[in-house]
Amino acid sequence: MKFPKKVLLLLWAWAGLEIAAEVIVSDSTCTVTPLGSGDDTPQIKKAFQQCATNSHIVFQEGTYNIRQVMEFTNLKNVSIDIYGKWVWSADNLQYWISNTLPVTYASLHTGWKLGGTDIALRGHGKALFDGNGQAWIDENRDGSNRRGRPINLTLWHATNVLVDGITWRQSQFWHIFSAYCKNVTLTNLDMRTRSNSRWSAVNTDGIDTWNSEDITIRNWTVECYDDCISVKGNSKNIDVRNVTCYESGCAVIGSLGNGNGPDNIDNVLFQDFKCNHSSNAAWIKTYPGQGRVRNVTFRNFEFSDVNQPIYVTPCIYSGQGCDSSRLPIEDITWSNIKGTSRYNVAAGMHCSSAAPCKNFKFEDIDIRPKAGGTAKVLCSNIRNQADMGLTCTGSCPANWPQELNGNR
């Protein structure tokens, strides 16, 4: 005699299989209820296995404890609704360090891979992802790319994806990584990771895109301690609007050109940004490697107390090989950029003498030092410097720092 899935699950529950009792499958819908204690990862995995194709997965309200890595990369036409709080464990860091999933880029790892086609992940303003990031901040001791430190959510080889209405608090590392993705829309997201100890929250980016195209971002609020929105190598057609960033690099191209093959950036729009007490506002950072940056627009930026509002460098971090880089940066527009700089430098732009920047365009730029006075614009190796729309007041050294510490 055959039983429907729902009845089978109940029979398993009567037999003492507690985990099955929490995943109810009816028609093409998997409904999950949190256990209340222990590890919810097995039942989360079971839901994604049972409802991987032409299905609907519902995570009801409550707290879900996640103690294991998760990899769901074969989804097809799946809608996921999360109404509860997901908490990643912090008392088993050695498990995460040993078992997190590689993402190829920069030898980094993730705790959760989500991929496939036609995926909708909705939080309805109720979903909360808590990464217990303070434990990682303290374990890392001001370090950055620690092996095994997990990115919270990685969209992996995913096509036609919607992520909407989710809140992040205390992410372990980057909040979202988009790798090998196409046609992804991420809307109405709220992220905040900060430290309450002697150690700093380092490299807790909002999102990084890599080998991805046709990415749309709308209506984000991010407090992180590195790049708020970062577009990395081989990303194209990236449209980002209405983002408020705190304590971050704000809108970023890079890093790229770090020796792993050509890194190309094409067609990026950053529009309607607010940057608060941040390191930068609208900037481009590369290594002296291979690739190009082409057709990028920074438009409608408002900011306050930003260390270095406009910054361009071909030799980020090292200050070496700055003038030998052959990675061209061209067709870049900064339009309606207004606010206060922390010091007396509005822009520091050093381009490689081997591949000078070209077709830079500035419109309606109003950057004023918060202490008063006139802001400096420092430029080197920009081909159209004379008619780019912003008057340079001096040259920018090759080893210009990412973070200023006082007036220049």
Domain coordinates of the chain in residue numbers?
Answer: 22-387
Asked if residues 343 and 307 have their Cβ atoms less than 8 Å apart, the reply is yes
Higher pLDDT, 354 or 145: 354
Phi, psi of 174, deg, nearest 5: -60, 145
Percent of the chain's residues with pLDDT above 70:
95
Q: What is the pLDDT of residue 4?
A: 42
Q: What is the pLDDT of residue 189?
A: 99
Q: What is the pLDDT of residue 161?
A: 99
Q: Given a cut of 80, is residue 6 above it in pLDDT?
A: no
pTM across the whole model: 0.94
Give the chain's mean pLDDT.
94
CATH number 2.160.20.10 is the correct assignment for the domain at 22-387: yes
pLDDT digits (tens, 9 = 90+) for 217-250: 999 999 999 999 999 999 999 999 999 999 999 9
Residue 139: C-alpha distances to residues 135, 194, 198, 201, 273 (Å): 6, 14, 12, 11, 33
Q: Given a cut of 60, is residue 20 above it in pLDDT?
A: no
Q: What is the pLDDT of residue 144?
A: 84
Asked if residues 131 and 171 have their Cβ atoms less than 8 Å apart, the reply is yes
| pLDDT band with cut points at 50, 70 and 90 for residue 111 | very high
Q: What is the mean pLDDT of residues 357-365?
A: 98
Q: How far apart are CA 310 and CA 327, in angstroms?
A: 19
Q: How far apart are CA 316 and CA 249, in angstroms?
A: 13
Q: What is the pLDDT of residue 259?
A: 75
Q: What is the pLDDT of residue 8?
A: 37
Pick the range with the lowest mean pLDDT from 136-145, 179-188, 329-338.
136-145
Nearest Cα residue to 116 out of 56, 27, 182, 186: 182
Q: Given a cut of 90, is residue 261 above it in pLDDT?
A: no
Q: What is the pLDDT of residue 145?
A: 87
